[in-house]
Structure 1
Amino acid sequence: MPQNLIDKDELIRQLMADRDRLFRENSRLRTATNIAPEEMQQVHNDQLAAKDTLINKKEALLRQKEVRIAQLEKQVDYLKRQLYGGKAERYINPDPQARQLELFEGVDLLPGEKEAATKAEKEIISEKEARAKRMEKAKKSAVRKSLPENLERKIEHLYPEGYNPQDWDLLDEQEPLYTEVLIKEPTKFYVLRTYRHKAIRKSDHLIVTADCPVKPIAKSYASSSLLADLMVDKYVDHIPFYRQHKQFERLGMKIPEPTILGWFQQVSDLLMPLHFRLWELMKKTNYLQCDETTLPVVRNDKHKTVKGYIWLVRDPMSGREYFYWDKGSRSGEVVLKLFNGYQGALQTDGYERYELLDGKKGIILLSCWAHARRKFSDAIKNDRERAESALEQIQLLYEVERQIKDQALCFEEAAKLRVRLAYPIMVRFEKWLVAEHAKVIKGSPIEKAILYTYNRFNKLSRYHLDGRYNIDNNGIENAARPVAVGRKNYLFCQNDTAESTAIIYSFMGCCKAAKVNFRTWMIYFLDHVHDYDQDYTRDIAELLPDNLKDAGVL
């Protein structure tokens, strides 16, 4: 018998599978021969179209991913600059000899415009080089300053080891060697108890009791100095109230947190009439700057932190500042309500809601060159040649402002210098924007910078008409810094205390502008605010920091 027997069932299965395969193949061939060539071509075209659609979808997806990657890379670069890079926005070419003026040679300028721009640029650069030489000559080595003479000094004497007056003679009794160190002692609390004596007058037997001292907050043991320190620690040194509560405990004084919050609210209530009066006076001026910044607040109904906006208005002439809170809104209604009745120039950033004022009679909008410069600075990696060329032209405008500052020119002289030097540069720059916009890629950072500047160029160029106007809005952005630093420390405000926060920041800014110590002013205000409770003939504006300084009180 053979060693390997053939399995009949397996053989039958293989034969059936082969016959089934052959049958299906013959059926497919039979069907294919019955299809018309046009239909075969259509099926083939449909298959190719499906493949093309799939490829297009993949390419679109890749383009979206590339755009998203570019956006994320831009964000990462920005965050790196914020963390590790320099914060100054002033543009300085690392190679002053490497000029980028080739791009401006092809601008279609009138002969007179070209000559004026070239002449103005040469004069600006010449003055810049002269100022650099003066600054280099005036440089001095740093010397450590001695401690202020007005500080109290306690004296101690150290003698050589084994010294006694009988066996030793002092060689430097008149001018001994000495060293000084600065000593700080902890703050301390003390209680001022005031006795109110009662006496009888012998002539008419009239009994009289000494008047009770007027307190800033009725029926409270908080003094003006304590209340002022609470405000200074919170808004100048950015120490939240709960940390101050802990500090008080370390000094042996327990003041409940609700009590501290109540004092804060009552102090802001006392300041509110002066806050209203401050805005009345500022609206009577004819040149203001405005900006807004975020202030997180906790909504009492949902106990959730939301982003609110606090508005800041600054008078560049007097330096007065007015912070305004309107339920955290940033809408155009706030702009219209805040500047209702105002007549004059208003300098702002590029926020579109300010455009609602552009058509108002008596209001002139000014834009900020620092914001335009920032756009080109962000576009350097996208188009270095055009971005640096634009930045150099903007830097020429700022050089004119430095000449005005260095020479301490009056407003009339400043306006004349701007017309002579800055205006020709701006004429050339505006035509360059038009010419270069047609050559850049749509949607690129450099195109956005060009559009941003050109769309606001009429508002950007108006500053040269009046010597009082500033070239940018940096003054008000610097004034908003305490809010930015504060929100990093106390993190958020309660919704019902945000308006009080705006009031405190307003007078902090006014004190800084008037070069008045905020604590000193706050104590004086709390001690004298009730003098205006009954006498309505007096103007509470007398208590503004700059008015008190002018009167010689502070």
Structure 2
Amino acid sequence: METALENLSKEDLLKVISSRDQTLSERDEKIVYLEAQLSMYKRMQFGQKRERFEGDPNQTMLPFQTEPEKVEEQQQEIKKKIEYVRKRPNHKGRAKLPSHLPIEEVEIHPEGDLSEMVCIGKEITEELECEPAKFYIKRYIRYKYAPKDGSGVSIAELPERVIDKGIAGPGLLAMILVGKYMDHMPLYRQKQVFARENIQIPSSTIEGWTRQALEKLEPLYENLVFDTKAMGYLQVAETPIKVLDSDKKGAAHQGYYWVYHAPLEGTVLFDYSPTRGGIAAVPMLGNFKGYLQTDGYAVYDSYAKKKEVTHLACLAHARREFEKALDNDRPRAEKALLMIQQLYAIERKAKQDNLSPEKIKELRLEESLPIINEMGKWIFEEIKNTLPKSQIGKAMGYAYARWDALSAYLYDGNLLIDNNLIENAIRPVALGRKNYLFAGSHEAAQRAAMIYSFFAICKKHEVNPFQWLKYALQNIASINHKNLTDLYPQNFKKSTDM
């Protein structure tokens, strides 16, 4: 090899050296990237090691018997603990009992003859109790009246019913829907609850009730869609949902919920689409004008570039990229995280001081803008000397490509620094996926989107979802269409607070 190199001209030799240097540089870059990836995966790894459960030959095998002396000792210890629990005084810092709950009083008098004694006072002890869900039959008895001349029969009309000729009342339907979509309890588990009370209801019947109750909410949901399209500040994200698609035998289709959160109005809208492609957002964002806040998903770029749209990025997503880089380049990652931490400290200050939007903008321009400018200048200089495929390079590249959008929250004090609120709204879907795994069809996924929307609004406005849903199901068929928004969860709270 050395002889071959000696025979080369100076120009060819420089080419070989240059090629070799480039190869080494690419190799070093790849090594750094792979080391960063390995380090990140190590940080992400959780759970216990397999070796711990593979067994020790010296370990006692199950089942095993505890020595009688140990059993006696344990029983005596338990006895002491039980006696201590019975006798110990009330804890001074115990939680205050809610004042809105009904009270059941139990009077306890001393035993024996009290006829020669005088009551001089009483001591009151309270505890929080509950009863399991109570099932009962609501029977409507409508009496018929007829004039004495036999000219006709008069009978009162039945109240509006959620399911015509069905046996499920609005309270029961509300309990089933809250159980499935809020508490993540699949319908087959709810059927087990009925069975414990000796109420035998076929699974198909419960599924039918669920579908028909959700269909009743369609006008209210369509109204929410209409209102959301008119809002001038939306946060958008998407999350997957498995759907049993009849066109794919033995396989589930990967559908998506597109979620639109209006921070100023406090509303959330879930919209189902079979695809994650940009076309899925056209119905909601096709004519959108205003502030649009998203993560880094490229699909949003076409909407963000419209003249009437100001695009906001999410600083929380940028922060996550730098957190991943801690094991790759700790000094620079920590420097970036420190500046981001300072920006969030200013946001907390604004919230704690309950500042108006005008004052928030003023505070941001005075304190946040210098930090943003410093960070932007630092990233611009450092990214030139950073391997693009390294984790710190990725973090800087993510922020650099979206710097204008990351800074856009300075435009208005009503705007938020990140998309965290919409991610909180999506969380129940992730929890539900772990329990009932999939939607039965594309239509079922869209029906679920309706109830996810309203339950997310309930959560934002601290509305009891069961009480709201029962009220909405009772009134949606009879309410004037002009007053439909009165059934929104946030308006239900206002009416009950009066």
TM-score with structure 2 setting the length: 0.81
Q: CA RMSD in A?
A: 3.0
Q: Which residue of structure 2 aligns with residue 143 of structure 1?
A: 93
How much does 1:552 deviate? 4.5
Determine helix, strand or coil for the equivalent of 1:309.
Answer: strand
Q: Which residue of structure 1 aligns with residue 191 of structure 2?
A: 245
Q: Which residue of structure 1 aligns with residue 54 of structure 2?
A: none
CA contact (8 A) 1:296 1:493 kept: yes
CA contact (8 A) 1:232 1:519 kept: yes
How much does 1:539 deviate? 3.9
Determine helix, strand or coil for the equivalent of 1:323.
Answer: strand
Cα separation, 2, equivalents of 1:63 and 1:459: 30
Q: Which residue of structure 1 aligns with residue 83 of structure 2?
A: none
Establish whether residue 390 from structure 1 lines up as the match of residue 313 from structure 2: no
1:258 corresponds, among 166, 184, 204, to 204
Cα separation, 2, equivalents of 1:186 and 1:403: 44
Equivalences for residues 82-101 of structure 1 within 5 A: none
Residues 318-367 of structure 1 show CA distances to partners (whole Å, capped at 9, x for unaligned) of 2100000012x110111233312211101011111000112223111100
CA contact (8 A) 1:188 1:251 kept: no
Establish whether residue 165 from structure 1 lines up as the match of residue 109 from structure 2: no
**Structure 2 counterpart of 1:146, one-letter code:** K
Aligned residues between the structures: 436
Equivalences for residues 235-384 of structure 1 within 5 A: 235-301=181-247, 302-327=249-274, 329-384=275-330
CA contact (8 A) 1:300 1:494 kept: no
How much does 1:70 deviate? 5.2
> Taking structure 1 as reference, are residues 63 and 441 closer, same or farther at Cα in structure 2, changes over 3 Å only?
closer
User: Which deviates more from structure 2 when the two are superposed, residues 313-322 or residues 540-549?
Assistant: 540-549
CA contact (8 A) 2:364 2:410 kept: yes
CA contact (8 A) 1:377 1:387 kept: yes
Determine helix, strand or coil for the equivalent of 2:360.
Answer: helix
Q: Which residue of structure 1 aligns with residue 417 of structure 2?
A: 471
Cα separation, 1, equivalents of 2:208 and 2:311: 41
Cα separation, 1, equivalents of 2:30 and 2:418: 37
Determine helix, strand or coil for the equivalent of 2:153.
Answer: strand
Equivalences for residues 363-512 of structure 1 within 5 A: 363-495=309-441, 496-512=443-459
- How many percent of aligned residue pairs carry the same amino acid? 37
How much does 1:456 deviate? 0.1
Q: Which residue of structure 1 aligns with residue 86 of structure 2?
A: none
> Taking structure 1 as reference, are residues 295 and 191 closer, same or farther at Cα in structure 2, changes over 3 Å only?
same
Residues 181-221 of structure 1 show CA distances to partners (whole Å, capped at 9, x for unaligned) of 33322323211121221112458944212212221111211
Cα separation, 2, equivalents of 1:553 and 1:424: 44
Cα separation, 2, equivalents of 1:404 and 1:62: 46
Q: Which residue of structure 2 aligns with residue 174 of structure 1?
A: 121
Cα separation, 2, equivalents of 1:394 and 1:173: 65
Cα separation, 2, equivalents of 1:346 and 1:145: 43
**Structure 1 counterpart of 2:108, one-letter code:** H
Residues 56-84 of structure 1 show CA distances to partners (whole Å, capped at 9, x for unaligned) of x9xx999979965753442232133999x
Establish whether residue 523 from structure 1 lines up as the match of residue 460 from structure 2: no
Determine helix, strand or coil for the equivalent of 1:386.
Answer: helix
Q: Which residue of structure 1 aligns with residue 41 of structure 2?
A: 75
User: Which deviates more from structure 2 when the two are superposed, residues 145-154 or residues 481-490?
Assistant: 145-154
Q: Which residue of structure 2 aligns with residue 93 of structure 1?
A: none
**Structure 2 counterpart of 1:507, one-letter code:** F
Cα separation, 2, equivalents of 1:293 and 1:79: 23
Determine helix, strand or coil for the equivalent of 1:297.
Answer: strand
Residues 114-157 of structure 1 show CA distances to partners (whole Å, capped at 9, x for unaligned) of xxxxxxxxxxxxxxxxxxxxxxxxxxx99322322433223142
Establish whether residue 223 from structure 1 lines up as the match of residue 169 from structure 2: yes
**Structure 1 counterpart of 2:121, one-letter code:** Q
Residues 246-273 of structure 1 show CA distances to partners (whole Å, capped at 9, x for unaligned) of 1100111011111111111111111112
Task: Extract unaligned runs of 5+ from structure 1.
Answer: 1-40, 46-56, 84-140
Q: Which residue of structure 1 aligns with residue 103 of structure 2?
A: 152
Cα separation, 2, equivalents of 1:213 and 1:174: 50
Determine helix, strand or coil for the equivalent of 1:292.
Answer: strand
CA contact (8 A) 1:297 1:493 kept: yes
CA contact (8 A) 2:36 2:325 kept: no
Cα separation, 2, equivalents of 1:297 and 1:67: 37
> Taking structure 1 as reference, are residues 369 and 62 closer, same or farther at Cα in structure 2, changes over 3 Å only?
closer
User: Which deviates more from structure 2 when the two are superposed, residues 461-470 or residues 397-406?
Assistant: 397-406
**Structure 1 counterpart of 2:268, one-letter code:** E
Residues 18-66 of structure 1 show CA distances to partners (whole Å, capped at 9, x for unaligned) of xxxxxxxxxxxxxxxxxxxxxxx99xx9xxxxxxxxxxx9xx9999799
2:487 corresponds, among 521, 525, 543, to 543
Cα separation, 2, equivalents of 1:286 and 1:544: 19
